[in-house]
């Protein structure tokens, strides 16, 4: 992926499991990276843009801020996300606002602001989920938000390809990140044991590590995927959600 050398990238959720792996992988390929998250003080990058994606002005301004800080913008990775658990009748207004705000509204705002700034040959990669394609039980609003970002990706892919901007998404199944591990801990399971047990349910014999997802994100951000538009790529170790 030598074409990533010197490319300028914005990554949201950059302090989290998958986001940090994407930042490391982009920088290892010679890209310059602006990192966005609530706290990015521990993330090595060329530009630091901390903030709360629930604030519309912050999300609206991120692409321009990244472009100004890096001297250009070629790649946007909308990776930040939150998971809320529960059936619809267990979902609070706060769960709804948080899930829609971070998982759908923020990437919508960032894409809307980025598209006029991105040159031909640029790419946006959104992070959906296998649960956005085939929902799992007990996470109704999370699944819906991931279906929404998958659909938005397909729509934007079609609509903006004529400007030479390719917009695609990854749809991971379970990934060994703080999101998954804190969920286990909240439910009273030891995260290491739970991750090992879950790995036995995957044909490849383990759940994904953040780097497994980051490598596919880099592929979608690079010219190696130059004919891919509006795709939602499942990365699941052979375990699609039934």
Residues that bind ligand NAD (CB under 6 A): 13, 15-19, 37-38, 52-54, 79-82, 102, 127, 129, 172, 174-175, 177-180
- Select 72 or 178, whichever has its Cβ closest to ligand NAD: 178
Please report how the helices 93-100 and 140-160 are oriented relative to each other, as an axis angle in degrees rounded to 10: 30
Q: Name the residue whose CB lies closest to ligand NAD.
A: 16
One of 18, 75, 142, 233 is an active-site residue; which one?
A: 142
Min dist. Cβ of residue 30 to ligand NAD (A): 23
Q: With respect to ligand NAD, which residue has the nearer C-beta, 12 or 122? A: 12
For ligand NAD, which is the closer residue by CB, 2 or 186?
Answer: 186
Find the shortest distance in angstroms from Cβ 170 to ligand NAD: 8
The position carrying tokens 């302090």 is: 15
Q: Which lies closer to ligand NAD via its Cβ, residue 72 or residue 191?
A: 191
Give Rg (Cα) of the chain.
17
**CB contact burial 9-44 (16+ within 10 A = b; e otherwise):** bbbbbbbbbbbbbbbbbbbebebbbbbbbeebeebe
Q: Is 58 a known active-site residue?
A: no
Helix, strand, coil percentages, rounded to 5, for the chain:
50, 15, 35
Q: How far is CA 135 from CA 43, 84, 155, in A?
A: 33, 14, 20
Question: At closest approach, how far in Å is the CB of 6 from ligand NAD?
Answer: 26
- Which DSSP string do the residues of 145-198 spell out, in sequence order? HHHHHHHHHHHHHHHHGGGTEEEEEEEE--B-SHHHHHHHHHTT--HHHHHHHH
Instruction: Judge whether 133 and 178 are in contact, CB under 8 Å.
Output: no
Between 32 and 198, name the residue whose CB sits nearer to ligand NAD. Answer: 198
Q: How far is the CB of 79 from ligand NAD (least distance, A)?
A: 5
Q: How far is the CB of 175 from ligand NAD (least distance, A)?
A: 4
Quick check: 17 and 178 in contact, CB under 8 A?
yes
Residues carrying an active site annotation:
142
């Amino acid at each position: 992926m030598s074409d990533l050398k010197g490319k300028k990238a914005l990554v949201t959720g950059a302090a989290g499991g998958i986001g940090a792996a994407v930042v490391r992988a982009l920088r290892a390929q010679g890209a310059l990276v602006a990192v966005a998250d609530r706290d990015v003080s521990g993330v090595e990058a060329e530009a630091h843009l901390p903030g709360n994606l629930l604030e519309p002005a912050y999300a609206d301004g991120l692409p321009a801020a990244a472009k100004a800080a890096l001297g250009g913008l070629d790649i946007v990775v909308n990776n930040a996300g939150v998971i809320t658990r529960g059936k619809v009748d267990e979902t609070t207004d706060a769960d709804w606002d948080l899930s829609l705000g971070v998982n759908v509204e923020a990437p919508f705002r960032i894409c809307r602001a980025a598209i006029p700034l991105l040159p031909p040959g640029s790419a946006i990669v959104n992070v959906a989920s296998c649960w956005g394609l085939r929902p799992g039980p007990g996470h109704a609003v999370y699944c819906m938000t991931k279906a929404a970002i998958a659909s938005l990706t397909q729509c934007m892919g079609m609509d903006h390809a004529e400007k030479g901007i390719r917009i695609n998404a990854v749809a991971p199944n379970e990934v060994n990140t703080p999101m998954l591990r804190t969920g286990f801990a909240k439910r009273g399971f030891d995260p290491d044991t739970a991750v090992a047990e879950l790995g036995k349910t995957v044909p490849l014999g383990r759940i994904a590590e953040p780097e497994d997802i980051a490598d596919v994100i880099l592929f979608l951000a690079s010219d190696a995927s130059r004919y891919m538009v509006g795709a939602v790529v499942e990365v699941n170790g052979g375990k699609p959600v039934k």
